[in-house]
Chains A and B, each alone.
Chain A
């Protein structure tokens, strides 16, 4: 393992105080730090990218993974296992593991390791593998920009501003918590209003209690876990209010974190006012009607010094959006295909940056797919090819695209023609993708796009046995049939006794099912219908839910 070096903030302070760093003015216009060695020798000066500042120092690598949480770790390890040599994980925190490091409760790893681990233990297993596989990572390093050309700009205290160019990028930045502002809760703005994750960090990492008398708004998993944690630390958790008529988190957390501690869960309730000028003194809660509007007359004052918000997570996609990655408004994350590749070729994404997961085990599985996808992309040399989708129905050996070097060898005329040809091929390939759309009763589906070739035309051992659709329903239902529809016909369906938005569901698309789907499309390929499809420009299957009587 090789860490590319970092200077942690407090280390700087400590070094200064210990007299190790001289002439350092932390305010900003000091002369020089004698020990600073910001640019390593292996940074080659090269004009690699069109439009980039040619004076920039750019380090080249095969794969950059942005984020060293569970998603980034699993993706990087998978990519290495599939033969990618040069991988760098960029992590903004001072250690790897992401939010798992503050999740000191158990319940992680049941699926992947068949045992119940704590968050740090779960992360630890991956970090160990990472080190065994000698995968590089940078800590305390913040990515500030990603481009379509896969140049990553990052910053850290020891090396300063870094430019890295990769053949492929995996986005694994995770998510952030929704805040009071996003909910627009009226009232004063005192201290003592925390998001559940911030409170979790304060307690589990920093060792401080944010408060003693706590009301939790939102029954998301972090909120539930924090209800138990705070209780165990001696705080009084008065209640958990949930706006919806059903809980937001996993059933097992409702039982283990609330019911076991006699903490009341108030469904269809919300906080309508916040009181206290300096520190929180209390909140007003109220019952809400079926339209989630507070019912006048049901207000109740609850004295508390702390309000924790566990009201949802938002995939963190500012970097992705700025790079031009297409975002699905339903998930808040990138639109991905079944290799977790985004709308920009060679940029992959996995974990909570794509959609919010309930279980880290699912993040790991998904991230392995992304790691594999990136490895295939890099090893097939697709990053060097001009034009569009290299992987299509025919598989990886897509003859339409031209290798950059070949273009250079041939004359300019040929170059133009070939590029033109490539553009056409790209269009065709896009048409071959099958879009998966959420229908009635379904909130979202990931991946949004599947490339049939991945199942139907396996090449060079890169075959897939199945493509897993992950989705969430939009309400609580009992006795439902979930169906996959192609051209109006049910191609596959499953029955479920109970489904809830808080629990992610999945459906597998096997080779056989894919053939069935493609047959439906071919079946409707009469001229008239083909024109209709052409107008839509896309082949799509729809996942929908219907309630059935027993």
Chain B
């Protein structure tokens, strides 16, 4: 790490906290910190939040019996689960506590269930039950008739993972966090700056980092970002980011999980999340309804090298199918809508790595957040704030903090009389753009205009579900491209699927 004096920098340009990574962890930390009087930026290399792991996972709010007692995973899973009702309400994110079943096919599996049950007890998971085969089938008639028992955890639930991320980003931005998209961090160094210019927003001069701030360099940009604290929430890249400040104490391996998403007509085949008994590589293939009413099958678990590789392959997809059919033999495989994969950020320590780096003061690692990271996200955010305070950041609550996200009125969720009123006020609610998911033009316009709004087709899709239905955007894609072009003031040729070079049109 190079330290040099860059002289006087405009005070306005110095952030109190720079959060690297706009996934569910980074966004929830940003949301949590935005209630304090702090100058915060959230740096994301993609053109939207929730682009990677946070948009491609199982969407499960775990009960908390998987993690080994005493680990950070155990601690934050149970705490995160408790917090989820309130946060999902505040962020207007669909969340359903539908319970989970870990099913057992033989006595060996039953032994593992008992182990999980014990872990759950130690971790403080409430209301678990071990069911016998008949009780399982009573609850879930579609599970394999060979199942002899299951661990039932009623506090488990399903949530929309990207909505949890987007909702948090929206609250953060609304409360003053600067969201920097298309911003890939390529270097971080510590620089000296004239003391007078680093007064923090509360007016006092910071005790620890006087004269020293982090200088963050972004790919393809001359402008540097200066920040007194850094939160490294860069997912599979968090080891690379840590290495930029000389912290090589851990590595993060991407572990790919492939999924199949089924049509809504399959969504009611099970009522709860059906897991198989876990192995070394994870919790096995699950079968679960999604909050939107589809059925999700997956994930596989395969360690890979390439941190960008989110391709699916035939082997992986057939593993998903075999695994799912083992749990629920009647899944109709002709009803696949799409397949996708996501990368878990698996740390070399086996647990979440959350704490101030030993190599760099004021640099907080939030790394290796694999499952149950989604569940843990709100709890981790709370904890990171404590860590920052411990590291010297002064946290003063804002007077005007907006805690609750403005509800997103969605055509498909509204009653007829509500719709009638709404269309009177805003005719665009009467203009259905995505017919499979019944998404109106008003919702698409709103998705673009909201804080931390959509800038790409995928961004619109994640915020509204337009293009997520059975026709996968066949009908609505050109129409959404028009709205994006109009709302963003860009020509059609500049509309992208997911930012960067993902152009939808190559020439006129």
Contact = CB atoms under 8 A, between A and B. Distances in A.
B191 interface: no
Given A27-B445, A142-B435, A191-B496, A33 B471 contact: no
Contacts of A140: 431
B425 A26 contact: no
Given A187-B311, A197-B474, A209-B506, A28 B429 contact: yes
Interface residues of A, number: 69
Interface stretch (B16-24, B167-175, B393-401, B416-424): B416-424
Contact of B507 (A27, A157, A205, A209): A209
Nearest to B440: A155
B474 A33 contact: no
Contacts of A182: 336-337
B474 A177 contact: yes
B26 to A, nearest CB: 21
Given A29-B425, A158-B427, A189 B478 contact: no
B478 to A, nearest CB: 5
Nearest to B423: A160
A190 interface: yes
A157 B425 contact: no
Nearest to B335: A182
B497 interface: yes
Contact of A179 (B428, B471, B499, B500): B471
B319 interface: no
B340 A33 contact: no
B427 A278 contact: no
Interface string A176-210: 11011110101111110011011001100111111
B337 to A, nearest CB: 5
Nearest to A13: B486
Given A181-B339, A181-B472, A25 B498 contact: no
Interface residues of B, number: 66
A279 interface: yes
Given A33-B427, A161-B420, A197-B474, A190 B497 contact: yes
Nearest to A176: B471
Contacts of B313: 186-187, 273
Q: Which of A12, A32, A155, A187 has the most CB of B within 10 A?
A: A155
A70 B451 CA distance: 43
Interface in A1-42: 7, 9-10, 12-13, 24-33, 36, 38
A155 B336 contact: no
Contact of B419 (A155, A212, A306): A155
B502 interface: yes
A144 B311 CA distance: 36
Nearest to B508: A208
B410 to A, nearest CB: 10
B421 to A, nearest CB: 9
Contacts of A53: 416
Contacts of A24: 426
Contacts of B423: 38, 155, 157, 160-161
Contact of A181 (B337, B427, B505): B337
A153 interface: yes
B438 A144 contact: yes
A191 B431 contact: no
Contacts of A55: 417
A121 to B, nearest CB: 23
Nearest to B406: A29
Q: Which of B260, B427, B449 has the most CB of A within 10 A?
A: B427
B504 A184 contact: no
A341 interface: no
A188 B445 CA distance: 28
Contacts of B497: 190-191, 278
A211 interface: yes
Given A179-B474, A191-B496, A28 B426 contact: yes
Contacts of B311: 186-188, 273-275
A180 B312 contact: no
A26 B505 contact: no
Nearest to A37: B424
A156 interface: yes
B184 interface: no
Interface in B330-369: 336-340
Contact of B430 (A28, A156, A306): A156
B255 to A, nearest CB: 18
B108 interface: no
Given A158-B430, A191-B504, A28 B425 contact: yes
B66 to A, nearest CB: 29
Contact of B428 (A12, A31, A279): A12
Contact of A30 (B425, B486, B492): B425
B476 to A, nearest CB: 9
Closest 5 CB pairs of A and B: A181-B338, A157-B427, A191-B497, A160-B423, A157-B430
9 contacts: A25-B426, A27-B442, A140-B431, A157-B431, A160-B419, A188-B310, A201-B478, A209-B507, A279-B501
Given A28-B442, A176-B471, A278-B499, 12 more contacts: A27-B426, A30-B425, A32-B424, A56-B416, A159-B430, A161-B419, A176-B470, A179-B337, A188-B311, A209-B506, A273-B313, A278-B500
